[in-house]
Amino acid sequence: MGRAGRASQPKRLVTFEIGHPDDDGDDFAAESCFPMASAMEDEKSPPLEESDHICDAIGGFGRWQLKLTFLLSLVNIPCTWHIFVPTFQVPATDDFWCLRPPALKTLTSDLWINISHPYILDKDGQLRYDRCNVFDVDYSRLSMFGASSIESAAALLQRDNSTPTRPCSKWEFNSTLGYTLLQEWDLVCDRAHLKDTAEMTFLAGVALGGLVSGMISDKFGRKKTLLSSLIAQIMVGTIIAFNPWFEAHCVLRFFLGFISVGIVFSGFVLCMEVVGGKWRTISGVSYLFPVPLSYIMIAGIAYLVRDWRSIQLAITLPAITLLSFFWIMPESPRWLLSVGRKDLVVPILQDAARTNKLTLPASLDKQLQQECTPTAEDSAGVLDLFRTPHIRKISLLLYVIWFSVYLAYYGLVLNINQFAGDPYVNTVLSGVVEVPSIALSILILLKMGRRWPCCLTLVVGGVACLLTLLVPPSTQQASTALAMVAKFSVSASNAIMPVFTAELFPTVVRNVGVGASNVPAGIALMLTPYLWNLATFGAGVPMTVIGAISLLGGFTALLLPETANVPMPQTIQEGEARGKTIAAPNKSASSLSANGDAAERTNSVASNGFVS
């Protein structure tokens, strides 16, 4: 039967609600689970669903959901390590020089630099030695006759400032850096651009992986996608540690990015689909808390382990512990219902109810049976994001916002070496700044909804970046302080957007929608390694670009519908119906709050929404 024919046949669906304030305006009561049919007062709009039986049965949040949210958030740690590790594996340094001939290994590095390297003016007008070239002379004379000073060495070599030079083919590096990718493949001078190429391949994998893994997750389930991606990440990460070829390193990094983003987004969607009420907001944002903690941890790992291969193993092998999820992590009951697998849903809800100390309703099996008849929409793909007007609109707007958030956030995070100071300390400070930002995101999401927090955090971050242009070049501390303000604000946007995005898409295309939004985000990521190259056109150009794009994303957020106190749609048909009613959110929210009968149906849930 055609799509239009199916759309004309109403079916019972399962969705879950965002909690709403109770009478005192502080706590979120258990009425977050109630029929939507009575809420839709527009007779032209079909009823979207009758109730969220999963939320009714096990509560919006309890010990079961707390355990899953905590465990799922841990998958962020190895993924964050893999994206951030180039900061230490490929450090920004100019402390290197051309390789000494074997016969001159006893020569000190300072003496070797002074007798062999010509001096040039750098871009700041400072005199420094040329790290890429040496005088073209016969250095074997030094080993034959010896030299006690720079002057005597120059005389022996018969060279002066007019002596021609030749490019170096090998280099030596300051030993305090440890053994990095720079030494492994001489990624300096005429090969320096390969540093950015290697990182761009990882970020290209992120862009493509978000889309593909979303389709796989929607087809085969969140748990299978998550676990298979974890296994692949461990395998690829380990191979990278032993790989001897630069070209293979780039290819492997591409697949690592492809895999890592699938882990993050599958875990996030699963996290969002096991909670209800206001806890969907809290869990969705709390899922990101390990990200700044990962920055702090990798700074410590890299400080203690000064070899890039050892660092690679140190950030890869701990993920083996996450394979225990196979035994302790359930599949998303909402995804199972959307594909008609009610037989697998009931055991999961029984375990959840037992952990949350609740009793399942006797009629639950019959209720779920009415709601789990699958349709062809269950196999929805990327094209379904553009078939209908409302889903198409939010998809295109989200692409602009995700591009803005990622360019601003990672433009500041991945270019942390552009700021003055020790990279290890700066990385720790970067993580410390982000922790309160994520915590603040929870509060503003609960009090202010989604659109305005997203808009304001991006706008504040953009303004802070643009204000750095007004700071005199000699006042580096003020400029750095404004950059930290920008990162604090944009970090909140980075925490808000996954929640906002997941709430906008129907269940059957949620993972695809989130994954597709990751494509423009991945494009922004691919640009971040080259962002500071724009400084050749002016020192303030990189921050100008970040600020302008951040402002664009902030104002674009205002064009999206608000999702606070609005149900998450389950099917594309339901999402389109919601698009017709979203113009009057206050009317809908008021009608929902007035539905007292729904509260009568709930189990024994504490007034703050937490199952006791």
**Same structural domain for residues 256 and 219?**
yes
Mean per-residue pLDDT, 192-219: 82
The pLDDT of residue 278 is 76
Q: Which long-range contacts (CB under 8 A, 24 or more apart) does 181-187 make?
A: 181/86, 181/89, 181/90, 181/249, 181/308, 182/90, 182/91, 182/93, 182/96, 184/246, 184/308, 185/246, 185/249, 187/90
Say if residue 188 is in the same domain as residue 302.
yes
Per-residue pLDDT of 246-264, as tens digits, reads: 999 999 999 999 999 889 8
Domain assignment present for residue 14? The answer is no
Residues 202 and 111 in one domain: no
Q: Say if residue 45's pLDDT is above 70.
A: no
CA distance 83 to 258: 11
Global confidence as pTM: 0.75
Considering the domain architecture, whether residues 167 and 193 belong to the same structural domain is answered as no
Question: Which residue type, as a one-letter code, is found at position 95?
Answer: D
Please count the residues of the chain.
612
Binning pLDDT at 50, 70 and 90, where does residue 143 land? Answer: low
Write the pLDDT tens digit of every residue in 53-66: 677 777 778 888 89
CA distances from 223 to 137, 227, 324, 329, 383 (A): 64, 6, 12, 7, 24
Q: Which residues contact 371 (CB under 8 A, 6 or more apart)?
A: 11, 12, 13, 14, 49, 53, 337
Q: Mean of the pLDDT values across residues 177-202?
A: 85
CA atoms within a 13 Å half-sphere pointing along the CA-CB vector of 596: 1
pLDDT confidence bin for 71, thresholds 50/70/90: very high
Alpha-carbon gap, residue 162 to 137, rounded angstroms: 12
Residue 479 has pLDDT above 60, yes or no: yes
Domain final residue, candidates 173, 202, 231: 173
Count of structural domains within the chain: 3
d(CA 489, CA 405): 11
Q: In the predicted model, what is the mean pLDDT of residues 523-530?
A: 84
Structural domain span for residue 148 = 96-173
Q: Contact at 8 Å (CB) between 60 and 22?
A: no
DSSP 100: P
Shared domain for 394 and 513, answered yes or no, is yes
Q: Is 187 helix (H, G, I), strand (E, B) or coil?
A: coil
Residue 270 structure tokens: 């699963």
Q: Which of 281-290, 411-420, 448-457 has the lowest mean pLDDT?
A: 411-420
Which residue, among 416, 498, 312, has the nearest Cα to 87 in the 3D structure? 416
- Could you say which of 334, 363, 392 is where a domain stops? 363
pLDDT (mean) for 532-538: 79
% of the chain beyond a pLDDT of 90:
19
The distance of Cα 350 from the centroid of its chain, to the nearest Å, equals 33
Torsion, Cα of 567, 288, 203, 422 (10° steps): 150
The answer to the question of residue 373 being in a domain is no
Tell me, yes or no, whether 292 and 343 share the same domain.
yes
Q: pLDDT tens across 543-581, in order?
A: 899 999 999 999 999 998 888 777 677 777 777 776 666
Question: Are 282 and 192 in the same domain?
Answer: yes
Task: Determine contact, residues 593/38, Cβ cutoff 8 Å.
Answer: no
Please indicate, yes or no, if residue 371 is contained in any of the structural domains. no
Q: What number is the average pLDDT over the span 172-187?
A: 83
Look over the chain and give the mean of its residue pLDDT values, rounded to a whole number.
76
Cα 430 to Cα 490: distance, rounded to the nearest angstrom: 12
Q: 369 in a domain, yes or no?
A: no
179 forms beta bridges with 307
- Same domain (yes/no): 157, 249: no
Query: In terms of domains, do 125 and 270 share one?
Result: no
List all residues 6 or more positions away from 224 whose beta carbon is below 8 Å from its beta carbon. Answer: 331
Residue 149 belongs to a domain: yes
* pLDDT for residue 5 is more than 50: no
Q: Judge whether 173 and 183 are in contact, CB under 8 Å.
A: yes
> Among all chains, which residue has been given the structure tokens 């400084």?
535
Which has the minimum average pLDDT: 107-111, 231-235, 558-562?
Answer: 107-111
Summarised one tens digit per residue, pLDDT across range 7-29 is 333 333 333 333 333 433 333 33
The rounded percent of the chain whose pLDDT value lies above 70 is 77
70: domain CATH number? 1.20.1250.20
Measured distance between the N- and C-terminal CA atoms of the chain, rounded to whole angstroms:
47
Higher pLDDT, 367 or 102: 102
Average pLDDT of the segment spanning 376-383: 61
In a domain, 6, yes or no: no
| 385, 241: one domain | no
Q: When comparing pLDDT for 162 and 610, which is higher?
A: 162
Find the largest Cα–Cα distance for the chain: 100
pLDDT at 267 over 50: yes
Mean pLDDT of 86-97: 81
Average pLDDT estimate for 305-310: 91
Asked if residue 5 is part of any domain, the answer here is no
133-135 and 165-167 strand pairing: antiparallel
Please indicate, yes or no, whether residues 303 and 342 belong to a single structural domain of this protein.
yes
Extended beta strands in 238-339, E state: none
Q: Let me know if residue 596 belongs to a domain.
A: no
Question: Are 257 and 204 in contact, with CB atoms under 8 Å apart?
Answer: yes
Please give the DSSP secondary-structure letter assigned to residue 21: B
Higher-confidence residue of 292 and 361: namely 292
Amino acid 587: pLDDT: 45
- Model pLDDT for residues 405-451, shown as the tens digit of each residue: 999 988 888 777 666 667 788 888 888 888 888 888 888 888 888 88
Looking at per-residue pLDDT, the higher value among 303 and 269 belongs to 303
Does the structure show a pLDDT above 70 at 113? Answer: yes
426 and 529 co-located in one domain? yes
Which pLDDT score is estimated for 260? 92
**Of the residues 155, 173, 191, which one is the last residue of a structural domain?**
173
The tokens of 63 are what?
């010990």
